[in-house]
Structures are given as C-alpha cells and as structure tokens.
Amino acid sequence: MANHFNPPGMWAPNGRAFNQGVVQPEGRVIHVTGQVAWDENSNVVGPGDAGAQLEKSLDNVRGILGQVGGTLADIVSMTVYFLNREDLPAIQQARSRALPAATAPASILIQVAGLVTPDLLVEVVPIAVVPLDRFRDPV
C-alpha cells in the first residue's frame, strides 16, 4: 500500500480528499484515460450536477481498476478538471465519499473552459499502482 503523508508545517487538507504526498509502492502502474460521467452508451449521467458526475466518473475508474485487481484506494495521483467554481463543494463531497482521507491521492484541481461535450462538468485522470499480489492482466 502507498504511504500517504502530510508534512508538518504545510497547509493541511482539512478534511478534503487528498494528501500532500504519496510514496508510490511496488506494483503495476496503471494510467487511466480521463473519465467523465458517461454510461456504457456515452450518455451523460447527472446532467447539471458536478457531484453526481464525479461519482459516475469515479465509478468508471473503479471498473477500469477492478479489471486489473485494483481499487480506488490504489490511486496515487489524480488530476480533476472542472468547469464551475461554484461546483467545488459538490466535487469535494463526492471525492471525500469515494476517497477516504487515509488513502486519498496527491491531486490537483484545474478549472477549464470546457470539456469534450457541453453537458460534462468534471473529468478525472488518475494514476494508480496495483500491488503485485493483487494485480491481474486485463481480460
């Protein structure tokens, strides 16, 4: 498992779902394509609701990592792109539900002018490390 840490004397996460640093453990590194709130038919889940969209995006990530024996707790780094500053509380709440503080990744939030379609409000790009004892080749 990764070593998540917040050095003394640094600004604190204060309950938000990230850690200042994550030591990458041994394992297979999984780079995940940016995930948005699309279902299997490319329909947007949660139109107008950034929190619901982040939950669906992370659910997509959960499915991808599950194919190789991983979980959301294996994410060591994550970039989150979002459109509207007023959506940050909903985004943070959804992140906190999916990524407990103890295993939350190092991360960055970047406000952007738009995503691939106008209905999308948030996109996540995670990097995970699946321990060798759990890793399995994707099917």
Write the pLDDT tens digit of every residue in 19-68. 788 888 899 999 999 999 999 999 999 999 999 999 999 999 999 999 99
Return mean pLDDT, the chain.
Answer: 93
The two three-digit tokens of residue 45, written as one number: 């889940």
Question: Is residue 79 very low, low, confident or very high in pLDDT (cuts 50, 70, 90)?
Answer: very high
* pTM, rounded to two decimals: 0.90
Q: Is the pLDDT of residue 69 over 90?
A: yes
Q: Identify residue 102 by its one-letter amino acid code.
A: A
Q: Any idea where the domains of the chain sit in the sequence?
A: 17-130
Q: How many beta carbons lie within 10 A of that of residue 103, not counting itself?
A: 18
Q: Is the pLDDT of residue 118 over 90?
A: yes
Helix, strand and coil in the chain, % to nearest 5: 25, 25, 45
Rg (CA), the chain: 15
Beta carbons of 121 and 83 less than 8 angstroms apart:
yes
Q: Is the pLDDT of residue 6 over 80?
A: no
Comparing 114 with 101, the larger pLDDT belongs to 114
C-alpha to C-alpha distance for 119 and 139, rounded to whole angstroms: 31
- Looking at residue 29, what is its pLDDT? 95
Q: What's the DSSP call for residue 74?
A: G
Beta carbons of 82 and 114 less than 8 angstroms apart:
no
Q: Is the pLDDT of residue 12 over 90?
A: no
The two three-digit tokens of residue 66, written as one number: 């599950």
Ramachandran quadrant class, 46 (left: phi over 0; alpha: psi -120 to 50; beta: rest) = left
Mean pLDDT of 92-104: 91
C-alpha to C-alpha distance for 101 and 19, rounded to whole angstroms: 7
The two three-digit tokens of residue 30, written as one number: 């999984």
Question: Is residue 100 very low, low, confident or very high in pLDDT (cuts 50, 70, 90)?
Answer: confident
From 3.40.50.1220, 1.10.3720.10, 3.10.20.600, 3.30.1330.40, which CATH number describes the 17-130 domain?
A: 3.30.1330.40
Q: Identify residue 127 by its one-letter amino acid code.
A: I
